[in-house]
Amino acid sequence: MHPDRFEIITHRFRGLRIALVGDFCLDRYLEIDPARDEISIETGRKVHNVINVRSQPGAAGTILNNLVALGIGAIHPVGFAGEDGEGFELSRALHALPGVCAGHFYQTPLRRTFTYTKPLVMEPGRPPEELNRLDLKNWTPTPPALRQTIVRALSTLARDVDAIIIMDQVDIPETGVITTEVLAELDAIANSHPYLLILADCRRGLQGYPRVSFKMNRAELALLAGADPAASLRGIKSTAAKLARQLGQPCFVTLSENGLLGAAPDGTVDHAPALPLRGPIDIVGAGDAITANLAAALAAGANLSEALKIANAAASLVIHQLGTTGTATVPGIASLVTPPRKRAKEPGDQ
């Protein structure tokens, strides 16, 4: 990508307003020093001693972290947390981030805070090793009053933002932020604001979602379109193009080590191959970085090819950040997608 074009796109980030609707969780990392392991007198089992605890927004919060890292001007998280310790940490973290307008993020006694607790063994000279994760989730349907609160927030924000990102992270339908009522409101917004970018991602697949822009992996595409999950790149391109025409919206497919693919409603398909590895990797958070960067680039006026290159580079940066769910900055992305500028000749140069 030409450096001038990249600069035009990313310069617009500071003026963007993006709503992020979805399941925010607390990512809590417990750093364990294996040199301090003990044996419990009471149980005879190994005791892991935690020497540091750090927390950050996760799930939809990982997308938010990436939007913050890009310098987006106004980010509106729409979601909820419980009135518990984890909810206090999550809410405090969101309010502390630059550009985040958290007026539609709610703490409620009706839910507990979605939390991923990640024990990490920190051994000198080795990448962090994640042990079995401890999750806190909601297993009952989201209460009706809370559903309507989310719908009203979404309806209000749709009039004032440049893009809406949807992140449905829960395993059981109707237990999180993205409920039947929210999907119905999204459908209404898509019909009344046909030029508003709405980019949706759902870990259970996007069946039943309204006609908005879809982001998915190759297995989710195959399930949604009734296609072969082992299809070649050519087959995936054909399936994605057909889906984009049906939706009347762009759709995007992550291909793991094969990069990222995008299809437009006019049948245009573009593919950004994965960038070379530069050392050990951790793929956690790569998809969320792609979502954030696709939404930001498209809202800033990037075309399909430009948005794919930016998002693909962001994913490459994130997977090389170990022991955390990483983010990608504009300078970091620039280092991967733009050629270095040539130095102007000075007097005396040969």
pLDDT at residue 17 greater than cutoff 70: yes
- H-helix or E-strand spanning residue 116: strand 115-121
141, 143, 148, 150 alpha-carbon torsion, rounded to 10°: -70
Domain boundaries, the chain: 3-24+59-334
Q: What is the 8-class DSSP label of residue 142?
A: P
Closest alpha carbon to 28 in 159, 156, 118, 133: 118
- pLDDT for 230: 83
Cα separation, 22 vs 106, whole angstroms: 12
- pLDDT for 343: 45
Cα separation, 208 vs 214, whole angstroms: 12
pLDDT at residue 310 greater than cutoff 60: yes
Cα separation, 330 vs 7, whole angstroms: 9
Whether 90 and 61 have beta carbons less than 8 Å apart is answered as yes
Strand partners, 77: 20
- What Å distances lie between residue 224 and 164, 214, 296, CA to CA? 22, 11, 25
Q: Is 274 exposed, middle or buried (0-12, 13-18, 19+ CB in 10 A)?
A: middle
Segment 313-342 mean pLDDT? 87
In this structure, of 40-44, 105-109, 157-161, 279-283, the range with the lowest mean pLDDT score is 279-283
Q: Give residue 278's pLDDT band: very low, low, confident or very high (50, 70, 90).
A: confident
Amino acid at 185: E
- pLDDT for 26: 97
- pLDDT for 347: 55
- pLDDT for 341: 61
pLDDT at residue 350 greater than cutoff 60: no
Segment 150-169 mean pLDDT? 97
- Fold of domain 3-24+59-334: UDP-N-acetylmuramoyl-L-alanine:D-glutamate ligase (3.40.1190)
Amino acid at 85: G
- Phi/psi zone of residue 22: left (φ > 0), alpha (ψ -120 to 50 degrees), beta? left
Whether 293 and 66 have beta carbons less than 8 Å apart is answered as yes
How far is C-alpha 190 from the geometric centre of its chain's CA atoms?
21
Question: What's the pLDDT tens digit per position in 47-59?
Answer: 999 999 999 999 9
Segment 204-215 mean pLDDT? 96
Q: Give residue 201's pLDDT band: very low, low, confident or very high (50, 70, 90).
A: very high
Question: What's the pLDDT tens digit per position in 161-182?
Answer: 999 999 999 999 999 999 999 9
Segment 196-221 mean pLDDT? 96
Question: What's the pLDDT tens digit per position in 88-103?
Answer: 999 999 999 999 999 9
In this structure, of 135-144, 158-167, 195-204, 339-348, the range with the lowest mean pLDDT score is 339-348
Tally DSSP H helices, then E strands, for the chain: 10, 16
Segment 276-283 mean pLDDT? 79
Segment 244-252 mean pLDDT? 96
Amino acid at 305: S
Q: Is 312 exposed, middle or buried (0-12, 13-18, 19+ CB in 10 A)?
A: buried
- pLDDT for 349: 52
pLDDT at residue 43 greater than cutoff 70: yes
